[in-house]
Amino acid sequence: MSYVRIWLHCVWGTKNRQPFLTPTNKKLIICHIRENAEKHNIYIDFINGHREHLHCIISLNKDQTIAKVMQLIKGEVSHWINKNRITKTKFEWADEYFAVSVGESQLNRVREYIKNQEKHHRRRTWQEEYEEFIAKYGFTRMRDYD
């Protein structure tokens, strides 16, 4: 038996930064993401977000890739949102996402950061948070966010 524990902090936004995630539908969307993830054996430790983006902590198992997990989460939930007309107009996620590893000793700190998204975004916009991620992790600027 293989023992694997790989924690990832993943962040993705709505296409064109549309503020589709109202307090009401954000709860529905997060609940659906959790249900769908469980069906696909994706372990979501913590998830929350703000009007135009979500953060989550995922633990990959030995057979999962970041790309496949993100495709399953983002693709399925956007289909579900549109099928159930959760938003008034067509819903889409931006193609890009962030994914960074998280050490065991940092999990609680990242959970707190994710939990406090509403409070955090009273002081900082999604654009400012995005720029911080780019700088902090040395990412190359992504094409849709230039």
> 59-86: buried (b, 16+ CB within 10 Å) or exposed (e) per residue?
bbeeebeeeebbebbbebbbebbeeeeb
Whether residue 140 is contained in a domain is answered as: yes
Structure tokens at 54: 């979500």
**Total number of domains constituting the chain:** 1
Domain containing residue 62: 6-145
Whether residue 129 is contained in a domain is answered as: yes
Whether residue 90 is contained in a domain is answered as: yes
Whether residue 1 is contained in a domain is answered as: no
What is the predicted pLDDT for the residue at 146? 40
Is residue 57 within 8 Å of 46, Cβ to Cβ? yes
Structure tokens at 47: 């998830």
What region, left, alpha or beta, does residue 16 occupy, with left being phi > 0 and alpha being psi -120 to 50 degrees? left
Whether residue 26 is contained in a domain is answered as: yes
CA–CA dist 88, 104 (Å, integer): 40
CA–CA dist 121, 129 (Å, integer): 9
What is the predicted pLDDT for the residue at 143? 54
95-143 pLDDT per residue, tens = 989 999 999 999 999 999 999 988 877 888 877 887 887 888 787 765 5
The CATH number of residue 28's host domain is 3.30.70.1290
The pTM of this model reads 0.86
Structure tokens at 28: 């529905």
